[in-house]
Amino acid sequence: MRGAIRDFIEATTAYEVCATVDDGASAIEKATECRCDLILLHLRAPLSDSVETASLLRSKLPHVKVVGFSSFELGGPESSASAFDAVIAKQDGLSKLVETLKALMPEPPRTATNSLG
């Protein structure tokens, strides 16, 4: 699933996906290494782990936008706006995800490659 989301984001936007990882600790490590601007965090049960990861990301990288992507209903303090810039339900689809990403962080212009032979 991560690969399909990555491919869709790269095919429909000018964003460059710098990494995909399996867990919160790896997300924090890669986000720090890649110096990314935006993190898409899969929310899974137990939700408290995802919220804790988002909070740690926020404290280590305060400039980074953190978006939660979830397959279950969210509500209450665990989906607190202090942990995430946005939370998108998977059932809303990838188009809604890309729309939200673009709203949070305008796309840079696509780069062109010139070949001078």
Structural domain contains residue 116: no
What CATH number is associated with residue 57? 3.40.50.2300
Look up the domain containing 98 and give its range.
2-104
Number of domains in the chain: 1
User: What does the pLDDT look like over 36-89, one tens digit per residue?
Assistant: 888 888 887 566 678 888 889 888 888 888 888 887 655 554 455 568 888 888
Q: In what order do the strands lie in the sheet with 86-89?
A: 38-43, 65-70, 86-89
Q: Distance (Å, rounded) from C-alpha 40 to C-alpha 49?
A: 15
Q: Distance (Å, rounded) from C-alpha 36 to C-alpha 79?
A: 22
Q: How many CB atoms lie within 10 A of CB 95?
A: 10
User: Residue 25: which pLDDT band, with cuts at 50, 70 and 90?
Assistant: confident
3-state class percentages of the chain: helix first, strand second, coil last, to nearest 5: 45, 15, 40
